Amino acid sequence: MSVLSGKKIVLGVSGGISAYKTATLVRLFIKAGAEIQVVMTPASKDFVTPLTLSTLSKNPVHSTFYNDEDENAQWNNHVELGLWADFMIIAPATANTLSKMATGNCDNILIATYLSAKCPVYFAPAMDLDMYKHKSTLHSFERLKEYGNIMIPAESGELASGLFGEGRMAEPENIISFIEMDIQSKLPLRGKKILITAGPTYEAIDPVRFIGNHSSGKMGFDIANEAAKQGAEVILISGPTHQTLKYSSINLIKVISAEDMYQACQTYFGNVDVAICAAAVADYKPKVVADQKIKKSDAEFSIALEKTKDILASLGKEKKHQFLIGFALETENEIENAKLKIQKKNLDLIVLNSLQDKGAGFGKPTNKVTFIDKNFKIEPKELKSKELVAEDILEKVVLSFNN
Show which residues are catalytic.
Answer: 213
Q: Tell me if 200 sits within 8 A of 160, measured CB to CB.
A: no
The continuous run of DSSP H or E covering 236 comes out as strand 233-238
Q: At how many degrees (to 10) do helices 258-268 and 311-318 cross?
A: 20
Contacts of 211 (CB under 8 A, 6+ apart): 202, 203, 205, 282, 284, 285, 286
For residue 324, what is the enclosing H or E element?
A: strand 323-330
Q: Alpha-carbon distance 130 to 166, whole Å?
A: 9
Contact yes or no for 105/99 (Cβ under 8 A): yes
- Distance (Å) of CA 312 to CA 98, 283, 380: 56, 12, 23
Please name the amino acid found at residue 252. Answer: L
19-35 in b/e burial notation, b at 16+ Cβ within 10 A?
bebbbebbebbbebebb
Secondary structure (3-state) at 166: strand
